[in-house]
Chains A and B, each alone.
Chain A
Amino acid sequence: QKEVEQDPGPLSVPEGAIVSLNCTYSNSAFQYFMWYRQYSRKGPELLMYTYSSGNKEDGRFTAQVDKSSKYISLFIRDSQPSDSATYLCAMSARGGATNKLIFGTGTLLAVQP
């Protein structure tokens, strides 16, 4: 079983829709949760960063963490064609000498104009 599970999609939505992207994880030591956006043939771009449980909002993006269910989500409101990309969740355990990130496989999102 992978430490982080993510539905690879693809997910296709019309412009203006609310998008929900999700990941589940098995390692209860994970405390830091991140969402990255990756356009085709580019490096991942950090979108959102959350520590422990709760919600965080940044413009059209909202990240949610439910540690009791080991479940994290990213919501995109008023989706735009420019949001079309692969969305990767990533996690890291607290403590230790390094901040190794464990990634999901990524969900491919297509927003249709």
Chain B
Amino acid sequence: DAGVTQSPTHLIKTRGQQVTLRCSPKSGHDTVSWYQQALGQGPQFIFQYYEEEERQRGNFPDRFSGHQFPNYSSELNVNALLLGDSALYLCASSLSAGAYEQYFGPGTRLTVT
């Protein structure tokens, strides 16, 4: 049973650039949430996708956007990158939008220079 997968593993971008991160949920899960984890901090909720719609959003600017595809996979897009966007970006999947058990992928480490 494949767990949550994310790509790429890591990448380096320059300030002002745009980046797209990808996530495939655990088999049988239809809900994907994205979190940002800065060094030495706990993950912070960015947003959640269910039925191809953004259901809830954390305290992140509009530069952060996402998408969910019919196969439940998801993308996180960040525009106009800032140095402060450097972090581990985590994708978590769950059985439904109301399910509280979330399973995380390995993350994508983004470095902005």
Q: Which residues of B contact A97 (CB under 8 A)?
A: 55-56, 97-98
* Given A98-B55, A98-B56, A100-B48, A44:B43 Cβ within 8 A: yes
- Of A4, A49, A98, A102, chain B has the most CB atoms within 10 Å of the CB of A98
Q: A36 contacts the other chain (Cβ, under 8 Å)?
A: yes
Number of residues of chain A lying within 8 A (CB) of chain B: 28
B18-53 interface code vs A (CB 8 A; 1 in, 0 out): 000000000000000101000011111100101000
- Mark interface residues in A1-39 (1 if CB within 8 Å of B CB, else 0): 000101010000000000000000000000010101000
Interface members, chain B 92-113 (any A CB < 8 Å): 92, 94, 97-107, 109
- The answer to whether A42 and B42 have CB atoms under 8 Å apart is no
User: Which of A8, A36, A99, A103 has the most C-beta atoms of chain B within 10 angstroms of its own C-beta?
Assistant: A99
Contact: B45 with A100, CB < 8 Å? yes
Residues of A within 8 A of B56 (CB): 96-98, 100
CB neighbours (8 Å) of A46 from chain B are 101-104
**Cα distance A101–B91 in the bound complex, in angstroms:** 12
Q: Mark A96-112, 1 if CB is under 8 A from B, else 0.
A: 11111111111000000
Q: Which of chain B's residues has its CB closest to A94's CB? A: B100
* B90 on the A face (CB < 8 A): yes
Find out whether the CB atom of A102 lies under 8 angstroms from the CB atom of B41.
no
Partner of B43, one of A8, A45, A96, A101: A101
Whether the pair A43, B90 counts as a contact (CB closer than 8 A) is yes
Hey, which chain B residues are within 8 Å of A105, CB to CB? 40-42
In Å, the complex CA distance between A96 and B97 comes to: 9
Distance in angstroms between the alpha carbons of A97 and B48 in the assembled complex: 10
Q: Is the CB of A103 within 8 A of B101?
A: no
Please give the residue numbers on chain A whose beta carbons come within 8 Å of chain B beta carbons, in ascending order. Answer: 4, 6, 8, 32, 34, 36, 41-46, 49, 51, 88, 90, 92, 96-106
The interface of chain B, by Cβ under 8 A from chain A, is 4, 6, 33, 35, 40-45, 48, 50, 55-56, 58, 90, 92, 94, 97-107, 109
